[in-house]
Amino acid sequence: MITFDLAVLNQGHFLGNNWNFGPICSGFSRLYLVDEGEATIKFGGRSHHLTAGHLYLIPSLLTHTDHCESTFGHYYIHFVDCSKRILDYFHKYDMPFQLDATVEDQQIIKRLLSLSPDTSLKNPLPETYDNSTSTMQLIQQFKFLPLGKQMEVNALLMLLLSRFFDKARLQENVSDQRILKAMYQIGKNLDKTFSIGKMAEEAHLGEYRFIRLFKQQTGYTPVEYIIRQRILHAQMLFIDGSHTLKEVAYMVGYKNLAYFTRSFKRISELTPSEFIHQNK
C-alpha cells in the first residue's frame, strides 16, 4: 500500500501583480488552483502558462521561475512528505503540470484551508519562508493538530495528488534484469568511481551494446543516469543540512569541487551555494 506522511506548511489565497520570483528549488511541493488572471512558470527550459480554472503541481526539488504581468489570483498549498517517499514517485513518473479543475477539487481545497486556517503566507517572498528552519517549525505546528485533522488533511491531499498520478507516465519502464541490476548498483554506490566497461562486463554485454540498452530502458546513457542520481542525492543531503558543500560532493562521488558545481548547476539550474542558501 502506498502511504505518505504529508504535512501542510502554508496554504491560503494570493491575489496581486507582484508574483515574480526565482529561480526557486524547494524541499517541499506546491499545489495551485488558479481562479483569476494568468501567470508563467518556467522550468525545464520552457515557459508554462497558468490560467484560471486549472490545478497545477510543482513537485519538490523542481527548479522554477515565477512571473506575472498583471493581477494574478490563486489558492496555494505548500506541503511536504516527512517520510520522503513521495520524492521517489516524483522522479519515477513524468507528472502532468496542469489539470482541469473540477468542482470537487475546489471543494477539497477550500476544506483543506478550513482545517489549517492560520497557515497563510505573511509575505510571498520565497526567502521569507522557503528555508529549513521555517519548514521544521511548520511541520511541528502541523503535528500539533488533532490526529483526526491530520488524517483528513492527508486523505484530501492524497485525493488531489491521485488526480495527477492518474495522468502520470512511468519514466523508467525497465524490464531488463541486467539494467535493473546496474541501476541498483549505481544507487548503492554513488560515492564510488564507476567503470562503464566493468558494468558492461558484469552484464555480459559489450560496452557499446550495454550503453545502447541502458538508454533504451531508462532514457539516459549510464553516465547521464549516474550524474542525475548523484545530484538528486546531493540535493537531499543539502536539505538535511548536516553536511558541508565539500562533504556532500565527496559523498556523491565528486573529488573535484568545480566539477561537482558544474554538474549540479546543469541539473538543478542553481549552483550548490545558491541551492544551500535557498534551503539553509
Give the pLDDT score at 280: 63
Would you say 19 and 39 are in contact if contact means Cβ atoms under 8 Å apart? Answer: yes
The three cell numbers locating residue 71: 493581477
What pTM value is reported for the model? Answer: 0.78
Across the chain, which has 280 residues, the per-10-residue mean pLDDT values are 85 92 88 95 90 95 90 95 83 88 95 88 83 82 91 94 90 79 88 90 90 87 91 85 87 91 88 80
Whole-number CA gyration radius for the chain = 20
Q: Number of helices (H) and strands (E), helices first, in the chain?
A: 11, 10
Say whether 38 sits in a helix, a strand or coil: strand
CATH superfamily placement of domain 177-279: Homeodomain-like (1.10.10.60)
Separation between Cα atoms, residue 58 and residue 64, nearest integer Å: 9
| Helix 103-115 × helix 147-166 angle, to 10° | 150
pLDDT at position 1, please?
A: 63
Segments of the chain assigned to CATH 2.60.120.10? 6-170
Tell me what pLDDT residue 172 has. 64
Burial of 160 (0-12, 13-18, 19+ CB in 10 A): buried
CATH class of 6-170: mainly beta
pLDDT score, position 31? 96
Give how far Cα 125 sits from Cα of 18, 128, 130, Å: 9, 6, 9
